[in-house]
Structure 1
Amino acid sequence: MDIPEQIEAYLASQPQPKQTDLRQLHARVVAEFPGCRLWFTDGTNEGGKVVANPNIGYGVYTINYANGSSREFYRIGLSANTTGISVYVLGLDDKTYLSRTYSASIGNASVTGYCIRFKRLSVINADALHAAIQYGMTV
């Protein structure tokens, strides 16, 4: 199964209304960044053990590790969790940026150094969320 098929299967597997919110977010990111690299991770490690929630990824950046190795990974991640939705903004040098910039304006969401977590799109300021996504994709 190719990545768009994996993404569709993942979205289809989500219960409503979470599925509708995830589909809206996915469609907007793809529309705003046409041609960006799409990723899908199923949340399992090399041994097949579940270590995270599945994620849809957008864009690309290089992670450089302390041991000198590096690998490509996505810039923006979208994932369902047990209580709602998580949007990951990865690769930011300033781990306080998201919280400082968006906590006051985003509404009913938890904002950490790299994650914006919320229950439903209807309880947040979607424009603030998309501003954070745009920043993450272009920084």
Structure 2
Amino acid sequence: MNVQAQVNDYLAAQPEPKRSDMQALHGIIRELLPNGRLWFLDGKDEKGKIVTNPNIGYGAQSRPYADGTMREFYQIGISANSTGISVYIMGLEDKKYLAEMYGNAIGKATVTGYCIKFKTLSQINVDVLTAAMRSGIEQTSA
């Protein structure tokens, strides 16, 4: 199954209103990264054990690891979780950036070093979320 089909199946499997919210986010991120690589991670490790929630990734960046190797990974990701949706803005150097820049303005969300977690899009300011994603893309596209 190709990545687009996996993404479509994952989105379709979500209950409402999460499905509609994730489809809306998918559209927003595709507009931000129109030519960006699309990823689907099923949440399983190499042994097939579930270690995380499945997630959709967008864009690509190379990230250095402590052992000196480089690994390609997505710039923006979304995932359904038990209480709502997580948006991942990967590769930010300053782990306080998201909370300091967007935490007070985004609405009812939890903002950490690279994740913005909320129940529904109606509880947050989507323009602020979009600005945070745009900023993350700009910082990791160099």
Common topology (TM > 0.5): yes
- Matched residue SS, 1:78: strand
TM-score, normalisation: structure 1: 0.98
Identity %: 54
**Distance in 1 of aligned mates of 2:125 and 2:56:** 21
Structural mapping, 1:61-72, within 5 Å: 61-72=61-72
Amino acid at match of 1:131: A
Q: Deviations over 1:51-104 (max 9, x none)?
A: 000010011111211111121000111000000000000100000000000011
Amino acid at match of 1:135: S
- Matched residue SS, 1:63: strand
Residues 58-67 or 104-113, more deviating: 58-67
Task: State the shift of 1:109 in Å.
Answer: 0.2
Amino acid at match of 2:4: P
**Distance in 1 of aligned mates of 2:55 and 2:124:** 21
- The match for 1:74 is 74
Task: State the shift of 1:32 in Å.
Answer: 2.6
- The match for 1:84 is 84
Q: Please list every run of 5 or more consecutive structure 1 residues that lacks an aligned counterpart in the other structure.
A: none
**Distance in 1 of aligned mates of 2:63 and 2:125:** 30
- The match for 1:126 is 126
- Does 2:141 align with 1:107? no
Q: What is the aligned residue count?
A: 139
Amino acid at match of 1:32: L
- Matched residue SS, 1:39: strand
- Matched residue SS, 1:137: helix
- Matched residue SS, 2:16: coil
TM-score, normalisation: structure 2: 0.96
Structural mapping, 1:1-139, within 5 Å: 1-139=1-139
Amino acid at match of 1:28: I
- Matched residue SS, 2:62: strand
